[in-house]
A and B are shown apart, each in its own frame.
Chain A
């Protein structure tokens, strides 16, 4: 998809003025992923211990990533599957298109995959003449609306049920135009009937992967709708889309992460479906795909290894950071302008599309720290955003006004005598001007502040000058 992260401030203003979106965000806040997560974590006494174990396990994997990926590939091959190593989005798309062409596919069903979004797979499948069909209900809804997801776990969370009904009527034109669609159940049944036909007709099924298991060559997906199972077991060809950091050593390691994933994401103890798939169908299996391919995507991730951003590769895409972020809660996901929104997106997006394009995202945070406090993998998200700010500052990407302001402030802060003089002068002038009301409605050079709130006036003398007199 075309990134619009560069115009983040305008995107955010639009989102704040979009009452439908604001309603949806309030509904989300009320239904409370955050509350449910807190309850789920509280019900599991070892939750905090698991976070530490998961962090250590994943750190060890990242230190030996080459070893685990090669081990994984050998296991996939041994099970009869094929691993396609892809350096970037173009290579990954080319590999998928080749497989689809070779399979003589027409319809390609898809389970939910953020990697699919990252490489803009649907657009390319369509351009090549295939019919991609998203089978996760939320993904299906945004596919027929030609929208990107606004949340990495709940892609259509920005929509109301009325908007969904409208899109169903506009898209499913072969159905009775006067059918009732006011209840979620009615829309669910309609989507299910339609998707059943696609499941059975598809020649290729594409899923993402929550985890790849080095020991067994398996991929694991979690869903609440079971659509992933039908996507990967009914068509003749199963393609797994996964990025390189999804690998863990053993099934046991995967279960450690599974215990954290659903609790952190939705407050569920476990997702409704947790499905393990290992290679194509074996000689004595009744069902399953005849071909099993893994698209193993790097797309800039290996460049993070050994650097200050490596911690980000621990992310398991639970979206707890989105659900707890006051900025995400105010503007939703689309304003971030690319595939990954919220705090995890603010760190990851500049890696994937460049800090020149996505430079706003790591700046659009108050560093309130709630994301880090709930991250199941203990990723220091505010620190990583600060690292991006440092790179922007060093590359002179930060606005000139901000850079000169900081330079002036730093000079003063390093010259205490001069600083005290300036602070006292400012306290006196502002204190005198604001004496009558105790606050300012407007202030020169401070429109960013006073456009939306008053500026309380200083008391009139700086602390340091009063202290120097007193002692």
Chain B
């Protein structure tokens, strides 16, 4: 409901690589009628440790996130992967600690991926213009853990001047996979090359997605191939904040 307090989980990649996505998220959430706060105690959701098998560190980081965001009506995350970590995986991290598990569940229930949060918020108004043809990559965690599929397309339909051109395998993994992309670079290279070819085949001039990890990977491959595709997080376009150069451009 409007007037409620939203805690923004910025995510480590937005914090380091693309703060403009964080500010776009703040603008969109405020425009929908919420007040936005950014707890300073946050760092990262814990996936690097969790997916590397370091369960203890993942639990410790999860505990600090749970504490940092305990006070908010909603927690909103501009990443399906990090939102999925909080919603689907935090509760299972505390199978042997009922008190923490309960706290993890309460946080999970109030946590939302940004675009799906906006899509179901009654106050959301998309007032943006973007002249171009965009194609949208369905990042895996958002798609399969949280069901983020229609929400970005529905909201993008409200952006003036933008036409969406779907790519061949929008739901196929781009080959990022966190540390996977550096542990198995040859396999990751094949996957992201196939993805880049699918993107280029659409003729779209813009690639959008809701996860910085996938965007960094796809953008890096597209620029290495010399492709002239502008790469942006979907929040930048929805907020009409596209003054900053696209990812990977100066």
B70 at the interface (CB under 8 A from A): no
Chain B residue with Cβ nearest A417: B40
Smallest beta-carbon distance A362→chain B, Å: 9
List, in ascending order, chain A residues with CB within 8 A of B145's CB.
369
Chain B interface, DSSP helix/strand/loop, else mixed: helix
Smallest beta-carbon distance A309→chain B, Å: 14
Q: Are B184 and A386 in contact, with the CB atoms below 8 A?
A: no
Complex interface bits, B162-200 against A, C-beta within 8 A gives 1, otherwise 0: 000000000111011111111111111111100000000
Q: How far is the CA of A406 from the CA of B47 in the complex (A)?
A: 10
Q: Are A406 and B17 in contact, with the CB atoms below 8 A?
A: no
Given A12-B186, A454-B220, list of 17 further CB < 8 A pairs? A13-B186, A330-B187, A364-B187, A367-B51, A368-B144, A370-B173, A373-B144, A406-B54, A416-B64, A427-B15, A435-B250, A439-B220, A452-B221, A453-B224, A463-B22, A464-B10, A467-B38
With A410-B61, A413-B43, A464-B10 known as contacts, the answer to whether A402 contacts B19 (CB < 8 A) is no
Could you say which of A435, A441, A451, A453 has the most chain B C-beta atoms within 10 Å of its C-beta?
A453
User: Which of B15, B61, B171, B175 interacts with A464 by CB under 8 Å?
Assistant: B15
User: Which of B179, B188, B249 interacts with A438 by CB under 8 Å?
Assistant: B249
Q: Are A423 and B12 in contact, with the CB atoms below 8 A?
A: yes
A283 at the interface (CB under 8 A from B): no
Q: How far is the CA of A278 from the CA of B80 in the complex (A)?
A: 51
Give residues in B with beta carbon < 8 Å to A: 10, 12, 14-20, 22-23, 38, 40-44, 46, 48-55, 57, 60-61, 64, 92, 140-141, 144-145, 171-173, 175-192, 216-217, 219-221, 223-224, 231, 244-245, 247-250
Q: Are A369 and B244 in contact, with the CB atoms below 8 A?
A: no
Chain A residue with Cβ nearest B223: A454
Q: Are B183 and A406 in contact, with the CB atoms below 8 A?
A: no
User: Which of B184, B220, B223, B247 interacts with A449 by CB under 8 Å?
Assistant: B220
User: Which of B60, B144, B186 interacts with A410 by CB under 8 Å?
Assistant: B60
List, in ascending order, chain A residues with CB within 8 A of B43's CB.
412-414, 416, 419-420
Chain B residue with Cβ nearest A413: B43
- B-contacting 9-mer, from A97-105, A227-235, A390-398: A390-398
With A12-B184, A393-B54 known as contacts, the answer to whether A406 contacts B49 (CB < 8 A) is yes
With A389-B52, A406-B48, A423-B16 known as contacts, the answer to whether A16 contacts B180 (CB < 8 A) is no
Q: How far is the CA of A326 from the CA of B144 in the complex (A)?
A: 15
With A9-B184, A413-B46 known as contacts, the answer to whether A394 contacts B53 (CB < 8 A) is yes
